[in-house]
Chains A and B, each alone.
Chain A
Amino acid sequence: MFSLPVLLYLSALLFSIGIYGVLARRNILVVLMSLELMLNAVNIALVGFGRVHALSTTSGEHSGQIFTLMVLAVAAAEAAIGLSLLLLIWRKWKTIDLRELCRLSG
């Protein structure tokens, strides 16, 4: 088996790539996808920690995996809401450019 730090570094790397996507891109679709990417990076860390934690318990513990399942549920809800907001924005203003939504700030 590979070691835990390797997994955590992988998770941190994916998370930073997601941060780059959120900050640098102007396409709302890609920003939403980068958010999913970041959630997935966290999932890797959670499953890795849970796998190591299972070693120290007698019957195998699943807290890490249950956390991950909840993150999955949140991600699904987030995707649904985010994409419907995107559709609304597209219908009203015919744009998926974040920069053109500056007027939302009033």
Chain B
Amino acid sequence: MMAAFLPTLVKASYFLAALLFILGLKRMSSPRTARGGIVWAGAGMLVATLATFFLPGMHNLPLIAAAIALGTLAAWISGKRVAMTAMPQMVALYNGMGGGSAAAIGAGELLKFGAGEAASTTQLVLGVVGALIGAVSFSGSLIAFAKLQGWMDRRFVFAGQRFVNALVFLAALAAGAALVAGRLEVGVVIAFFALALAFGVMMTLPIGGADMPVVISMYNAFTGLAVAFEGFVLQNEAMIIAGMVVGAAGTLLTQLMAKAMNRSLANVLFGNFGAARGEAQ
């Protein structure tokens, strides 16, 4: 009786969380109601997280609680202590964590599919694509954080960089295609993630610090998409809806931010190559 009732209750709490996220974001988009918006969204997160503990068939509950406590404590303290001027790089850091988490979900699911768990082709494709986007967002956001934090104040540019980056991206796609084609071996999974992480680093390295807010906003949208795709793999409605809302909102926000700087997104991402050539001449 109880076992049949619980999944419905968890699903209902996910619905409530999705609703609160959308209402919270809506409030955050107007200066008068912005402050309350984050509280609404926060309530949604709390409800969804607590409900997940009651999903039937979950093991490792103490381990889950320990990981949540550790991650929450570290992020809470660092977020409270940091100076207001350092906020953009903290957003980059926390966004990278979300991308890493989505990539970790993708890695775990791919290993399970490799071990013989049944998966539809759609799940396999979206799992691989979500893991790719999540991993790029993870390593790219960490580079953005390091740049804004002043740990890496030089732009890293070399001749033919765009070509090398494209090659790394294509290699990551090829490894992903091999996974989708059924070669779900641990070695291929590792190669796939190594290439995806490398691409995130190399894509962000040549971009200057002043353009970072736009880039962080783009990685924010990336993480949203990764979360939505991994949500489909896990059949988790809250992740699909929240991730997709952020993916779309983040994409539009990135365009608006680039426009506010009188730049196009392509100019922010690739424009520095022209500048580098100019410097060399």
Asked if A and B bind, the verdict is: no
Which chain B residues have a beta carbon within 8 Å of chain A's beta carbons?
none
